[in-house]
Structure 1
């Protein structure tokens, strides 16, 4: 198999895994995110721990997409290819902080609180859940739009490695997602709202397309933009 085909296949599978791990993790996190009294309970915290493992896998797959695509993207622009890697690292770092915040809630729940400290426990848990919410907004809700949307879309567009109409979806959907994150940050509307969902759809479709297209089809035929620079013999 051609090296670039191996890279495109690996990138496609990793993109699909980001969907599987992120959606599963969000579903498993349900109890700790929706129940203010979760920290006072004594039942099984297994689903939340499983959700944390899913998000650890999400971090790995996010970084994997950047590392797999970097050798191909740098042929078009080494600086933008590095910027894409940095964006993925920033996103993954924010996700990791969010994981730690929810694991802290689980730890406090297991250790218990002194009698009469229930109100304090609920406030602490709400603060940690709020921290997770902000990391989600700034990572998957803002940085993703810049890195996975605008930068990656532009580079794939310029190199003709995918159908150019689809690359436009990334270049438009990414900034739209980031602007929505700014709107939420400034209080224009809630993070979980119709407007936020509508702004997320183009980026969601773009990343789903990348996962399926790169897995099934791979990169399109190379163009001069995607080729390594030719070596010119030295003049004598």
Structure 2
């Protein structure tokens, strides 16, 4: 019963994290090339909502490792610890994605005050900081996300806690996702490029399939990540 509850909770958190991530992109959109205090203030509610979605996504991701760790630990404690660490680093790297837009909104409101000095300079500095995160924050967090996918799905594949097709799909789909992060990091690809979507969709869909499986079927009975030959030697002849 406990494993079933854990599986359902993890599945729900996967759905929440993905839904919040998609909504954050919808509300925050792409950064404008021309910045004005009036435009920022007019879109303050939308920007704040987008930042809130980033925080919800980060919170959902942060809750997954402690929930699934006991299950993964039964199969491989080092890989389970690696999963916890990689997802924790990912969450830390996601937080500036919420802080940056909120900082721009706060500075723009302060800059609208008649007594504010160097308003445009401070607003531009905050906006530059937020845009800089778009250049490095997404790709670096993507690298740690890909690492967590590899660790999680390698354990799932070896132990058959979910159908091997699902975990094998994730292990294959992580390659284009990682390539996307590296291409964005080196400025070869932008987040608005159609290729960006093409590269990340296979793994995004896989995560939703995994979440649905955990919600409806839970974890399959699994065997530890022990070598099969060791098990055979332990059997009486």
Alignment of 1:4-19 (within 5 A): 4-19=3-18
* Correspondence for 2:138: 136
Cα deviation, residue 200, structure 1 = 0.6
* Correspondence for 1:66: 65
CA-atom RMSD in angstroms: 2.2
Contact 1:55–1:99 (CA<8 Å) still a contact in 2? yes
Pick closer, same or farther for the CA change 1:206–1:51 going to 2, 3 Å.
same
* Correspondence for 2:147: 146
Rounded Cα–Cα distance in structure 1 between residues aligned with 2:38 and 2:56: 28
* Aligned residues between the structures: 221
* Correspondence for 2:171: 171
* Correspondence for 1:106: 105
Contact 1:145–1:173 (CA<8 Å) still a contact in 2? no
Query: Unaligned stretches of 5+ in structure 2?
Result: 227-237
CA distances 1:78-128 after superposition (whole Å, capped 9, x unpaired): 11111111111111101112211111101111101657854x356324412
Q: Which runs of 4+ in 1 moved over 6 A?
A: none
Q: 1:33 is paired with a residue of what secondary structure?
A: coil
Query: Unaligned stretches of 5+ in structure 1?
Result: 227-236
* Correspondence for 2:24: 25
Rounded Cα–Cα distance in structure 2 between residues aligned with 1:89 and 1:49: 24
Rounded Cα–Cα distance in structure 2 between residues aligned with 1:68 and 1:35: 42
TM-score between the two structures when normalised by the length of structure 1: 0.85
Q: 1:37 is paired with a residue of what secondary structure?
A: coil
Pick closer, same or farther for the CA change 1:35–1:48 going to 2, 3 Å.
farther
Are residue 212 (structure 1) and residue 212 (structure 2) matched?
yes
* Correspondence for 1:190: 190
* Correspondence for 2:234: none
Are residue 34 (structure 1) and residue 35 (structure 2) matched?
no
Contact 1:101–1:131 (CA<8 Å) still a contact in 2? no
Pick closer, same or farther for the CA change 1:39–1:136 going to 2, 3 Å.
farther
Pick closer, same or farther for the CA change 1:175–1:146 going to 2, 3 Å.
farther
Pick closer, same or farther for the CA change 1:81–1:116 going to 2, 3 Å.
closer
TM-score between the two structures when normalised by the length of structure 2: 0.84
Q: Which 10-residue stretch deviates more, 130-139 or 209-218?
A: 130-139
Contact 2:75–2:223 (CA<8 Å) still a contact in 1? no
